[in-house]
Amino acid sequence: MINSKRQRPFVFATFAMTADGKVTTRSFAPVDFTSREDKLHLFRQRALADAVLIGHTSLKRDNVRLGIPGELQQARIKRKKTPAPLRVIVSNKGRIDSRLKIFQSTTSPILIFSTTRMPKRTQAALKEKATLHLTKSDKIDLAAMLGTLRSKYNVRRLACEGGPMLFRALLERDLIDQLNLTIAPYMFGGAKAPTLTGLSKEFLPASVHCSLIDMRTIGDECFLTYRIKHQRRRN
């Protein structure tokens, strides 16, 4: 019997969305529509992971460092973990700016999964700051990437922090195990503002069935935890 979970990490995604399902506005500008409690929730989820994963657009737009606060680092050290999870960036084109804030922070090692489309000059600049995994194919094989994270870096729990394009790509391949979803008390409207699964007009290959395992409300926000029911069990 093949247990897929042994070959890849448990993947949990954490998102905040408006009551009308939007994760940002149509300009994709960083938009702060959640409470301090939600930000703490995101940090706590991140701190539970061995690695945190982000798509290149979110990294670029939000210019995040993907670290965790000192007290959560201390709690990890007590649990005999590294102070902070590994940070993993995915990009097909590989045109990643080495001046982004993430590369100024040394809180934990950075891995970049990309392709040999990454310009040579960028490769040289990023090699100083991160470990590069470049594939010769045009696109990254996400399942293979998860396999490498599990086998080479011993990543058992992976926190996916989006964005929607990356989340959808993982979801389409049945590679998401849990969704932590904060519903924030706003509505943005707009067909050009991405939802949780992005802007694609296409349906998912099959509807994804979730099972609600936890629900909390704090103030006007609702914190949901869904387990994703897998489509294709590999028995």
Q: Please give the single-letter amino acid code of residue 112.
A: I
Q: 208 is written with which tokens?
A: 């994804």
Residue 91 touching ligand NAP (CB under 6 A): yes
Q: Please, is 188 exposed, middle or buried when counting C-beta atoms within 10 Å of its C-beta (0-12, 13-18, 19+)?
A: middle
Residue 12 touching ligand NAP (CB under 6 A): no
Q: Segment contacting ligand NAP (CB under 6 A): 70-78, 102-110, 127-135, 155-163?
A: 155-163
Count of C-beta atoms within a 10 Å radius of residue 9: 24
**Residue among 49, 166, 175, 193 that touches ligand NAP (CB under 6 A):** 166
Q: Please give the single-letter amino acid code of residue 139.
A: K
Q: How far is the CB of 37 from ligand NAP (least distance, A)?
A: 14
Quote helix, strand, coil % in the chain, to nearest 5.
Answer: 30, 25, 45
Residue 85 touching ligand NAP (CB under 6 A): no
Q: Segment contacting ligand NAP (CB under 6 A): 73-81, 85-93, 146-154, 202-210?
A: 85-93
- What x/- string results for residues 32 through 71 when contact with ligand NAP is judged by CB under 6 A? -----------------------xxxx--xx---------
Cα-Cα-Cα-Cα dihedral sign, residues 72, 78, 83, 87: negative
Q: Segment contacting ligand NAP (CB under 6 A): 63-71, 73-81, 124-132, 137-145?
A: 137-145
